Structure 1
């Protein structure tokens, strides 16, 4: 027997801060919404979420629990612990299929799919990721303030990150894990600031119970430290935006305007999937903005149909 497709105003694919924030705005606007999420967020490796006003230090799991509890006050929003496997159709009539075989039809789509890490190729890094190795000093720099750190980065992005991390500690060493991709002028800049720089490949990161102890290089150098910041290798959390025709940026994010509109009518994006500003509070703000734009579209379309 073929299941009848559930009709939605908005299908939100992804249940992180962006998707949850959007669902709250849309629920309060009395829209029929389903949030699809398979509960495998990228920030599950971390113990705490920081920089989110009134929720500083909350665990990612507790953040989601509290959000769903609040959203539960709005009966038009539902949550599906399911993965969307395909999206077809056009604005006003998108067809959605899930891994569990549940069909949905939705007038609008919001991709809040986030990003995901490629496998970490530095031995020992996976053991400390989210415990003493991090990617964002705004999220985790305070906890490592004034501590001796290792920064794993190279090239132009390193020259952006070095001045940034210096606001939390001046005790950091740079490991480029291979050729540094720096100009002579950039190397001289680091020397002026007395920042040690090593380009030998990393052999292994030693740790105990998730806390880094030292970084061992192939040339025999051992660098003691209490924390690590590294540049992650990220890919989109899902290929669905590309599959439906959304324009992508050179960095692999979904291209959107200031309200989250993609290049495909009726399709929106929010959060880490559309921005390199990977902070929970920024993702939530983008989700709220996209929700407002979608609600306005839906109301305007209904107004014109009924006029």
Structure 2
């Protein structure tokens, strides 16, 4: 069977694209390994009507609603190779399945590289976060440590200042700050420590203090940090998709890449990593794919 579209990735972007295409009466397979990046966190925030929902419950409800459109199916599997061209793609999986499809949507997201600070894994998603818009409200008016350096330090301080004034910057080594940036932070009474971090101490996932190698301990109840990321799959590169200098897939307004028949959406295409943004991009990609399929069918009659 040749499907209209295979969606690789079942997060908000892939699921919303599947919903749009299912409602457009297109045959779709969503391939997802079931290991969402946000599985480490307890709640998803900032998504209208779903604020504070757990990531697993979000996906359960989404799949339940999408199941009303019988042309959409799900495969809990991992895509490992893709060949072919527009109208005739072949996707192979770890479990030995092969799917044939006219179009492909990469909703593969990003993956966290190993966290190299002792104790950070224990608090990640519980009291250490990466997005103030996703988790700033829960840490309002609390003492926070922000693990960043250079221009990111002043940027994060400005953003977080709307939630709390109790901010300490830890650069975990050379601060990479200019004199002007140091002065800006000093004017706002934000201390900066450039000693490497020895460990993060916590209790049941809740941070208690950040211990530096020079012996200083910084008491805090929350952390924000800049993660190290890699794209969720190398398949877009294998197909010849173009990337930005910062490692995101280049797409147009409807998610189309430079490769005919290939689309992408969500965190793999933007640095704005919020569930609602990923879902909206998936919706637009679904529209783009549906329009292209309809136009091709129209011309072929």
Normalised to the residue count of structure 1, the TM-score between the two structures is 0.97
Establish whether residue 197 from structure 1 lines up as the match of residue 186 from structure 2: no
When structure 1 is superposed on structure 2, of 155-164 and 66-75 the one drifting more is 155-164
Which residue in 1 is equivalent to 2:161?
Answer: 166
Instruction: Determine the C-alpha separation between the residues in 2 that align with 1:177 and 1:102.
Output: 45
Instruction: Determine the C-alpha separation between the residues in 1 that align with 2:54 and 2:190.
Output: 33
Which residue in 1 is equivalent to 2:115?
Answer: 120
SS at match of 1:51: coil
CA displacement 1:8-48 (0-9 Å, x = unmatched): 10000000000000000000000000000000110000000
Which residue in 1 is equivalent to 2:263?
Answer: 268
Alignment of 1:41-80 (within 5 A): 41-80=36-75
Choose the corresponding residue for 2:210, options 208, 215, 225: 215
Instruction: Determine the C-alpha separation between the residues in 1 that align with 2:212 and 2:18.
Output: 47
Query: Which 4+ residue blocks in structure 1 deviate beyond 4 angstroms?
Result: none
Instruction: Determine the C-alpha separation between the residues in 2 that align with 1:305 and 1:7.
Output: 17
Instruction: Determine the C-alpha separation between the residues in 2 that align with 1:62 and 1:16.
Output: 12
CA displacement 1:250-270 (0-9 Å, x = unmatched): 111111111111111110010
SS at match of 2:279: helix
CA displacement 1:174-208 (0-9 Å, x = unmatched): 00000011100110000011101000000000000
Which residue in 2 is equivalent to 1:19?
Answer: 14
SS at match of 2:156: helix
Instruction: Determine the C-alpha separation between the residues in 1 that align with 2:155 and 2:260.
Output: 36
Instruction: Determine the C-alpha separation between the residues in 2 that align with 1:158 and 1:257.
Output: 31
Which residue in 1 is equivalent to 2:296?
Answer: 301
Q: Displacement of 1:156 after TM fit?
A: 1.7
**Where in structure 1 are there 5+ consecutive unaligned residues?**
1-5
CA displacement 1:36-86 (0-9 Å, x = unmatched): 000011000000000000000000000000000000000000000011000
Instruction: Determine the C-alpha separation between the residues in 2 that align with 1:303 and 1:160.
Output: 50
Q: Displacement of 1:158 after TM fit?
A: 2.0
Q: Displacement of 1:155 after TM fit?
A: 1.1
Instruction: Determine the C-alpha separation between the residues in 2 that align with 1:229 and 1:244.
Output: 35
Instruction: Determine the C-alpha separation between the residues in 2 that align with 1:157 and 1:92.
Output: 43
Instruction: Determine the C-alpha separation between the residues in 2 that align with 1:86 and 1:177.
Output: 39
CA displacement 1:130-167 (0-9 Å, x = unmatched): 00000001110000000000000011222221100111
Choose the corresponding residue for 1:251, options 246, 252, 272: 246
SS at match of 1:57: coil
Which residue in 2 is equivalent to 1:3?
Answer: none
CA RMSD of aligned residues (A): 0.6
Normalised to the residue count of structure 2, the TM-score between the two structures is 0.99
When structure 1 is superposed on structure 2, of 154-163 and 241-250 the one drifting more is 154-163
Instruction: Determine the C-alpha separation between the residues in 2 that align with 1:258 and 1:293.
Output: 9
